[in-house]
Amino acid sequence: MSNLSVLYKAELKKIYSKKAVWIATVLGLFIILLVGFTNLSADGAKAYVKYQEDTLTSISGQKMDAAFLEEYHSRIEKELEEHPERYENIYANDPDAVYMNASANVGMDALYDHFYNVIRNRSEIPGMTDEEFYAAMRSDIEHDGLVMGCTQEEIDTWLAIYDGIEKPITYSYALAYVNLLDVLFLIGWGLVLIITIALSGVFADEKTYRTDALVLASRNGRIPICMIKIAAGITFALLQTILFLGVCFGVMCAFYGVTGWDAMIQNVIPPSPWNITIGKMVLIYMGLALLVGIFFAVTNMILSHLTKSAVATTAIHAAIVFAGLFNVPTKLGLVAKLWQLRPTMALYYGTFCNTYMYGKLNNIQMSVVIYAGLAIILTAVLVLSYKKSQIESR
């Protein structure tokens, strides 16, 4: 057991000894920090973010009802009355932008964006009622389902869930989690890059550096070595995922505060039919990110073993990922549904609005089944294939 522990540590050390791994890690962290700093780059931006946080936090916990909207409209209209000179040019060029600009001036642009994500028509926001707000939110769920090619039964299932959400919904400032969700898909792409760089040669290097015969001649054969390599590869993927998620989460919370963890998901994704809190959603996505990292690790390692080439592994994986940039027509039915669950889309928060159903499973549940199932199957195939190559070599 001690020898296996030594070999495991040696395998991890070998993975981290690659300069390209460190370069990719630093680059990934730089991008996360860059995204976090984007809104604070201009002079005074940090003070504005703080002002917006204080303003919106002060109305957090209030029900989004007629009184809430009346208070919002009165504050914006007061701003327009007190500073009409600010909006004359804006009105001439884009009348619908006046309300948006006034909302920004009173530190409520995030609240305005929330309304706009539901109403989708800026000219209707000034006169929006609470009935219209919730009707538009419900209509979005149905519209998105129809666009995606969902069956009426699937749409009805989600509408029933949405109708069961207590209304009026309580508003909560949750800018940290909005920005966190916006960059989660970047973490997915970053994991694809760094895991491919790190693990494409984990098995192929045996052939490249002629160490396969040495492994074959060992007392216990290849299987213990195979298991150690798999364990090290998965460990690396998990560590990198935790690092990226931790930095991203920390950066966003440091910039925008932690308010909103217990709020309903509709505060972040207005047309979402899910009946859960933002905090639970974030935890689910973090768990899904860890699973996606394991999946990337296993696919890289099995390709590394089968191709016996780090270059070929990288090329094949890059081609698969590139194919994931394209969408499949909804008329293809089940194929189009499953295509929505591809790894490059798994961490895109729009999938939380997805109204597809896979039997009795929703999109997140189906993602877990697919990635966990494939990771287990591919790991078994890798071990069996490695064992077979040992027998054939002998």
Contacts with 229 (C-beta within 8 Å, 6 or more apart), sequence order? 11, 202, 203, 301
Handedness of CA 192, 198, 201, 206 (dihedral sign): negative
Query: ∠ at Cα 343 (341, 345), nearest 5°?
Result: 65
Per-residue pLDDT, 208: 57
Helix residue ranges per DSSP H, 200-222: 204-208, 212-216
- Of 77-86, 178-187, 369-378, highest mean pLDDT: 369-378
Percent of the chain with pLDDT over 90: 28
DSSP 330: G
User: Which of 274, 305, 250 lies closest to 163, judged by CA?
Assistant: 274
Beta bridge partners of 358: 361
Higher pLDDT, 125 or 206: 125
Domain boundaries in the chain? 2-39+172-393, 63-163
Is the pLDDT assigned to residue 48 strictly greater than 90?
Answer: no
pLDDT tier at 206, thresholds 50, 70, 90: low
Phi, psi dihedrals of residue 360, rounded to the nearest 5°: -100, 5
Is the pLDDT assigned to residue 44 strictly greater than 80?
Answer: no
Q: What is the pLDDT of residues 127-185, one digit of tens each?
A: 999 999 999 999 988 888 887 778 888 889 889 988 989 899 999 988 888 888 878 88
Is the pLDDT assigned to residue 280 strictly greater than 60?
Answer: yes
Per-residue pLDDT, 120: 86
Handedness of CA 105, 109, 110, 111 (dihedral sign): positive
Per-residue pLDDT, 273: 85
Per-residue pLDDT, 43: 46
